[in-house]
Structure 1
Amino acid sequence: MRRASELEKTIILTNTGRQVIVLDTLLGLRIGSVFIILFCAAAGTLFPVLARRSKWLKVPKFVFDFAKYFGSGVIIATAFIHLLDPALDELSSPCLADGWLDYPYALALCLLSIFSIFIVELVAFRWGTSKLERIGVRHDAHGNSSGLHAAHGPEGSTDTSAKGSSSDVERQLAQDDTDSASAQIIGIAILEFGVLLHSILIGLTLAVNQDFKVLFVVIIFHQTFEGLGLGSRLAYIQLPSQYTFVPILAALVYSISTPIGIAVGLGIRSTYNPGSTTASIVSGVLDALSAGILIYTGLVELLAHEFLFNKEMINSSNGKLAYALGTMLLGCGLMALLGKWA
């Protein structure tokens, strides 16, 4: 039997007369969780980024490959198990108005998110392609390099004879490098957006959850694995020297997202009711939109570009392919298993 202090709650009345449970149990550990999760998330996210740049830390290539494919599986499992499933539950809750129960809004919002990202990327791709064609650059529409938005980079040779002087082409290529960097930064921002919303929400949930201890342990692993997945993608982004800070900044922003959610939850724990109608709608909508972002990113930007349209992977040995697939499935399986508790 747990001690009485661990079960202690306080019931107060708000101005509207509604009863709210104030969770003051394990308050010290709840506050400490802000810093513990911050450290774990930062370690998981920054390690791939910094290790790949380090000259003295000789990390074998297979470690980076493991992190990259493991991370792809983590991101895909996060989309389906940790975002889409909760969104379905939240937007079909019996406490919502009847209108919410007449249509699968969670799936519709996820679908809207997927097609919105697809259309934005399609327009950007067509615009970039037309610019490259004007200067005679031929490229592979599928891309052959790893990393987000690899399909937008030039691939092939240039024909300068029909398109002005070589200096004009060089200036245009320099501009295209800048545009490519901008496209990759936008890709990072899209991936970050989906992950950040989810991270803030689970931090808020952790701060006010009665089963704190179990959820706390699960979220430590959750944020570390998800951070490893995000960091492994950030580590392989190739940007001009003036933008090399972007992956580190993105990793730090992810690291503080869940601690921010916990801090907000602790601050409003006397008034916030996670089971309220408003909380269910807000969480459900944000989870559904985030799920669409990560589904598109995971299936198109990660799986398709890494396996189907990557010449290195297509021409690789059966052993390397099996290793990559096994690693990805391991990440997906472990993250899906965590969905049993969080």
Structure 2
Amino acid sequence: MSSESVSECESIDNGDTFLGLRVASVFIILLCSTSGALFPVLAVRSKWLHVPKALFDFAKYFGSGVIIATAFIHLLAPALEALSSECLAPEWQDYPYALALCLLSIMTIFIVELIAFRWGTAKLTRIGVQHDAHGHSVGSHAAHGPESSKLAFGGPPPKNMSEDGHISDAEIGEVTTSTTADTAGQIIGIAILEFGVLLHSILIGLALAVDEDFKVLFVVIIFHQTFEGLGLGSRLSTVHLPGARKLTATWVPIIAAILYGLSTPVGIAVGLAIRHTYNPGSATASIVSGVLDALSSGVLMYTGLVELLAHEFLFNKEMIHATDGKLAYAILSMLTGCGLMALLGRWA
């Protein structure tokens, strides 16, 4: 290790350069990221704010692209760099730990979701309710979860239905159980997506607070957080919680959007508080940020590729039967979000 590398690994004083602008960045990024995440959520629920469907679809597919690019360019790449830092012990260079942690994250989420889905499906089968396997994801429009197929597919009426077409209390209980299971699954999906995005946002806020080339990074992160907020918000806005109370269904996406908006400002505030002792290039900082980035990249990869792309394009009945123009519009919107977010990786 060269003497220059050794000095970079030692604790440094980041000083008070651009201190006023750094403090202001807490509030500027709070406004931009929160607005980006909340706008799609509130637009769907607003009676006076009428967003054209084409624009809303653009935001939704654009958001999928943003999330996928974030996983690869803004999380996995920095994780590889951090865990291969010269500040770390030589043993860290003997194995691609960042890739292994990303793989671990993907497999863990897959197994947890698989177990939860099998358990939920078995429970619904016991009470005679069929479940659409492709409708449980965040923002999926395949079927939005469990269906009472006895009614949905035109089969014979359930045995608990009276001659006048009313469903008995027992049948209502079955449907309620199915929608409750779907609600729990969607809330878990929100939590998984939020987990990956929040960790990433806190880390980039911490980096911004102590970065020497602050002005360039500040401008880039404003766009970064706004785009990522729009991506997250567009997915949250499509979540339906049929088994939840009206108040819960309304506030869960809003609270998730607000938490995202707070994450980067919190990271900046922490970074400003410890700026005289924190060195982002130190061994400890590299390990912590590298491990968290690698785990978060796996979360967003799984969410973006499986829960969003696969369920939105391959398993979505509406998209399967859509016109070529609508399909091209959706793909172009997704590629636009992916491309812009990947381009921002040139600077942040």
Give me the TM-score of the superposition, normalised by structure 2: 0.89
Alignment match, 1:322:
328
Shift of 1:21: 2.1
Shift of 1:199: 0.2
Q: How does 1:31-180 map to 2 (within 5 A)?
A: 31-143=23-135, 147=139, 153-155=145-147, 157-158=149-150, 160-161=158-159, 166-180=168-182
Alignment match, 1:20:
12
Q: 1:294 aligns with which of 290, 300, 305?
A: 300
Shift of 1:156: 5.2
Asked if structure 1 preserves the Cα contact closer than 8 Å seen for 2:41 and 2:254, the reply is yes
**3-state SS of 2:130 partner:** coil
Asked if structure 2 preserves the Cα contact closer than 8 Å seen for 1:146 and 1:310, the reply is no
Alignment match, 1:213:
215
Alignment match, 2:291:
285
Asked if structure 1 preserves the Cα contact closer than 8 Å seen for 2:105 and 2:295, the reply is yes
Alignment partners' CA distance in 2, 1:200 and 1:157:
44
**3-state SS of 1:270 partner:** coil
Alignment match, 1:242:
247
Asked if structure 1 preserves the Cα contact closer than 8 Å seen for 2:142 and 2:318, the reply is no
Alignment partners' CA distance in 2, 1:286 and 1:315:
40
Alignment match, 2:5:
none
What code does the residue aligned with 2:185 have?
A
> Any gaps of 5 or more consecutive residues in structure 1?
1-17
Asked if structure 1 preserves the Cα contact closer than 8 Å seen for 2:148 and 2:175, the reply is no
Shift of 1:138: 2.3
Alignment partners' CA distance in 2, 1:129 and 1:119:
15
> Any gaps of 5 or more consecutive residues in structure 2?
1-9, 151-156, 162-166
Q: Does 1:230 align with 2:232?
A: yes
Shift of 1:109: 0.3
Give me the TM-score of the superposition, normalised by structure 1: 0.91
Alignment partners' CA distance in 2, 1:181 and 1:169:
18
Shift of 1:247: 0.3
Which is worse superposed, 152-161 or 92-101?
Answer: 152-161
Alignment match, 1:273:
279
Shift of 1:139: 3.0
CA change 1:190–1:149 in 2 (3 A) is: farther
CA change 1:152–1:51 in 2 (3 A) is: closer
**3-state SS of 2:275 partner:** coil
Alignment match, 2:193:
191
Shift of 1:151: 7.3
Aligned Cα root-mean-square deviation (Å):
1.9
Cα deviation, 1:290-314, whole Å, max 9, x if unaligned, reads 0000000000000000000001001
CA change 1:242–1:177 in 2 (3 A) is: farther
Alignment partners' CA distance in 2, 1:108 and 1:20:
31
What code does the residue aligned with 2:260 have?
Y
**3-state SS of 1:58 partner:** coil
What code does the residue aligned with 1:132 have?
L
Q: Does 1:262 align with 2:271?
A: no
Shift of 1:26: 0.8
Cα deviation, 1:24-51, whole Å, max 9, x if unaligned, reads 0110000000000000001100000001
Alignment match, 1:304:
310
Amino-acid identity (%): 72
Alignment partners' CA distance in 2, 1:317 and 1:238:
25
CA change 1:114–1:184 in 2 (3 A) is: same
**3-state SS of 1:20 partner:** coil
Alignment partners' CA distance in 1, 2:338 and 2:57:
15
